[in-house]
Amino acid sequence: MKKRKIISVLLLLVGVVLSVAFIVRIEFPQGFEAYFKREYYNQFGPLAISVELLIAAYYFFIGHKKTNFALALFGFTALLDPLFDQLGLFDSIVPIYGTIILSICGLLCIWLAFANPFKLKRLSRLVAILSLVLGVFVELFFNYF
C-alpha cells in the first residue's frame, strides 16, 4: 500500500505541474467570435490529458474501483497523441517536454492498469477496449474535429 501511495503522489505532482504549464500556454482571444473557432479549443488538448492524469492518480491514491479504467484511459490518450502525430493525422500541440513526460507516465499507467500489481479491480476486455476507444475519441476531438 505504501508503494501505491508513493507512485500515486508522484503522478499527482506530475499532473499538477503539467496542468499549470499547459494552462499558462493557453491564449484567450479578444473577440467573441474567436471563442467558437477550432484553434481556440485545440489549445485545451494537452490540459485534458494532464487532467486525465490527475484523475487517474487520485483514483490510484484512494484505491477507487475504477482506478484501472482511469489509468488505462490516461495511458492510451497520452500514448496516442505522439503516435497520431507521427502517423500524420494531425500536428500535436503538446510541447516536446510534455510529450516525453506524458509518454513515460502513460507507459507506467498502462502497465499498472493491465498488470494490476496492487490487486485493484481488474479490467475486463470490454472495459480495456472502451478505454482505448475513449482515448482515441479524446485525441481526435481536440486535434482533428
pLDDT of 33 > 70? The answer is yes
What pLDDT band is residue 28 in, cutting at 50, 70 and 90?
confident
Give the residue-averaged pLDDT of 10-31: 93
Whether the CB-CB separation of 56 and 109 falls below 8 Å is answered with yes
What pLDDT band is residue 10 in, cutting at 50, 70 and 90?
very high
Task: Write out the three cell numbers for 118.
Answer: 496492487
pLDDT of 29 > 90? The answer is no
The per-residue pLDDT for 145 is 66
Buried b (16+ CB within 10 A) or exposed e, 115-140: eeeeebeebeeebbeebbebbeebbe
Percentage of the chain exceeding pLDDT 70: 99
Q: Output DSSP code: residue 118.
A: T
Give the 3-state secondary structure of residue 50: helix
Q: Convert the pLDDT of each residue in 82-137 to its tens digit.
A: 999 999 888 888 999 999 999 999 999 999 999 989 888 888 999 999 999 999 99
Q: Convert the pLDDT of each residue in 50-91 to its tens digit.
A: 999 999 999 999 989 999 999 999 999 999 999 999 998 888
pTM of the predicted structure, to 2 decimals: 0.91
What pLDDT band is residue 143 in, cutting at 50, 70 and 90?
confident
Nearest to 131 by CA among 63, 64, 79, 60: 79
pLDDT of 30 > 90? The answer is no
